[in-house]
Amino acid sequence: KKTEPTIIIVFGGTGDLSKRKLIPAFYNLFLDGWMPDKLAIYGLGRSEMDNESFQIKLFDGLSEFSRSGVPEPESWEKFKKNLNYLPSNINDQKSYKELLNEIEELEEEWGQRANRLYYLSVAPKFIETVCRNLKSFKLVDDQNKDRIIIEKPFGYDKDSAISLNKMLQELFDEDQIFRIDHYLGKETVQNILAFRFANTLFEPLWNRNYIDYIQITVAEDVGIGDRGGYYEGAGALRDMIQNHLLQILCMIAMEPPVTFEAEEIRNRKVDVLKAIRRIPIEEVHNYAVRGQYASGWIKGKEVLGYRDENDTNRHSQTETFAAIKFYIDNWRWQDVPVYLRTGKRMQEKTSSINIQFRPVPHMTFPTSHSDNLTPNRLTINIQPHMDIKLRFMTKKTGLEMNLNSSEMIFNYDSCSTQSPEAYETLLLDAMLGDTTLFMRSDQVEEAWDVLSTIQQAWEKGGEDFPNYVAGSWGPEKAEALIARQGHFWTMDI
Ligand code: BG6
């Protein structure tokens, strides 16, 4: 893999994402030798600032958020030469003209047309303006070299996602559009494909004949922080399920791809979304549970309820928790329940996938000796613990034939190299033009379609919020949802 001379332009360059994720990712790629010698990064923002103040701001961000900690003076000096700030106004054509001048001057100095990578870290309402201007000022005119990365939320529902895609595809080639879902860049999520398709051991069992049910949990202990303005109009369904959780589900449930090509992988993933059974609107309450946190205690600290956070509505009906039971209607997964669950202000930050296998078909051992016989379970811990655990039964050491549950664990701590951050993987892929880990238009639309009746049912409001205390595992109804079939949420913390 080799990166070409590149100019990176970050719209929203002074924003939080840029400081916490993007610049640290670029810096770590630079440290690891992935960045081309000819590199320029432009942060664009409304405030007036010179390059030096911009660099200082980013230095602070790096020191706080980069996995490599406070930058070493020598590498920082080298890296910061690439960082520029350009005051600009998204709505003003003059700003695009100035940007074009900057880029062309640089390309002239380099003696070649560079790759141009535009990162749109801006509110959704600005995406169209930026894209149209990029196109009309010929900032994006080379189909093979110019790319655009777009952050979620990608639309608000199916119809808005379709119009957004239509607009983008009118202006750019699909290969130039990188719809980012940072979960796909996580080491543990990428490993799902290796685990499933680079081993013979698991795939023969990976179906309705052996798997009882699947559950995916993405729990956070944080609240909505200072994102009330955004979150109030989003909620857990749009913020997490539509993208991160459904994407993980696709990796777990997809058929084996024939090659590791972007389109092949994306085709197999979209097949899963198409096969997910649509929940009739009048049945939504039997399949989906929502929650909103009340005040409570997390790790010894008292925290506010959602309705008392900044920029939220005192009578808000926005959900901060969602749990859904899905079925996938195909040969592999017919009748296997798949439970997804996510929430803010839960007891712990933990994301995991649990594949619960069926119990043994016949009990050989006397019941008295096998009280604690538990079915096999595979746990893929995504974060913050990163491991893969396989639970199986063994004989307890001793003179009697007693059974015991044991575990085989693959622990990432034993790996020789440190895991890159999700954004490092994804930004490098975007620089290389590899779309495998990015969402294609049809995936996004199909994911919205899967949720559309739930959205409609929930939009009617009427839920008795708040219905779970901060620091708990969500509303009681979420326990009931899974318990109905004798299943339970698995915690592995
Ligand atoms: C983002 C959501 O996409 O993912 C946030 O908008 C959420 O609400 C975040 O907190 C979680 O990401 P991570 O990588 O910390 O699990």
36-71 per-position pLDDT tens digit = 999 999 999 999 999 999 999 999 999 999 988 999
> How many H helices and E strands in the chain?
16, 18
pLDDT score, position 364 = 85
Cα 275 to averaged position of ligand 1 atoms, centre (Å): 26
Instruction: Classify residue 318 by burial, with Cβ atoms within 10 Å: 0-12, 13-18, 19+.
Output: buried
Average pLDDT along the chain: 95
Q: Which residue has the higher pLDDT, 417 or 407?
A: 407
Backbone angles phi, psi at 115, to 5 degrees: -75, 140
b/e map of 223-258 (b: 16 or more CB within 10 Å)?
bbeebbeebbebbbbbbbbbbbbbbbbbbbbbeebe
> Which atom of ligand 1 is least distant from the CA of 230?
6
The Cα-based distances of 34 to 4, 144, 174, 425, 432 in angstroms read: 10, 20, 25, 11, 10
What is the interface pTM, i.e. ipTM, of the complex?
0.99
Residue of 183, 216, 240 best suited for mutating to test ligand 1, as the one with most atoms within 8 Å of CB: 240
Q: Which tokens sit at 318?
A: 């926005």
Beta-carbon contacts of residue 379 (< 8 Å; ≥ 6 apart):
352, 353, 354, 355, 387, 388, 389, 390, 391, 490, 492
Query: Using the 8-state DSSP alphabet, how is residue 412 labeled?
Result: G
Portion of the chain with pLDDT greater than 70, in percent: 98
User: Which residue type occupies 412?
Assistant: Y
344 is in an annotated binding site: yes
17 is in an annotated binding site: yes
Beta-carbon contacts of residue 257 (< 8 Å; ≥ 6 apart):
197, 264, 265, 267, 268
H helices present in 111-232, as ranges: 127-136, 158-171, 187-197, 228-231
> Which atom of ligand 1 is least distant from the CA of 231?
8
SS3 label, residue 394: strand
User: Of the candidates 411, 389, 403, 413, which has an alpha carbon nearest to the alpha carbon of residue 492?
Assistant: 389
Mean pLDDT of 99-127: 96
pLDDT score, position 414 = 75
13 is in an annotated binding site: yes
Active site residue 362: no
- What does the alpha-carbon distance between residue 147 and residue 18 come to, in Å, rounded to a whole number? 18
- What does the alpha-carbon distance between residue 83 and residue 26 come to, in Å, rounded to a whole number? 11
Q: Residue 493 pLDDT more than 70? A: no
95 is in an annotated binding site: no
pLDDT score, position 44 = 97
Q: Residue 195 pLDDT more than 80? A: yes
pLDDT score, position 418 = 78
Cα 175 to averaged position of ligand 1 atoms, centre (Å): 26
Cα 427 to averaged position of ligand 1 atoms, centre (Å): 17
Q: Residue 370 pLDDT more than 70? A: no
> Which residue has its alpha carbon closest to ligand 1 atom 2?
239
Portion of the chain with pLDDT greater than 90, in percent: 89
Q: Residue 401 pLDDT more than 90? A: no
| 244-301 per-position pLDDT tens digit | 999 999 999 999 999 999 999 999 999 999 999 999 999 999 999 999 999 999 999 9
- What does the alpha-carbon distance between residue 87 and residue 291 come to, in Å, rounded to a whole number? 42
pLDDT score, position 419 = 84
> Which atom of ligand 1 is least distant from the CA of 222?
10
158-171 and 127-136 are packed helices; what angle lies between their axes, rounded to 10 degrees?
Answer: 10
Beta-carbon contacts of residue 31 (< 8 Å; ≥ 6 apart):
68, 75
Which sign does the torsion angle of CA 254, 258, 261, 267 carry? negative
Element (H, E) at 337: none
Q: Ligand 1: list residues with CB < 6 Å.
A: 182, 220, 239
Mean pLDDT of 95-123: 96
Cα 126 to averaged position of ligand 1 atoms, centre (Å): 21
Mean pLDDT of 121-138: 95
Q: Residue 482 pLDDT more than 70? A: yes
- What does the alpha-carbon distance between residue 215 and residue 337 come to, in Å, rounded to a whole number? 8
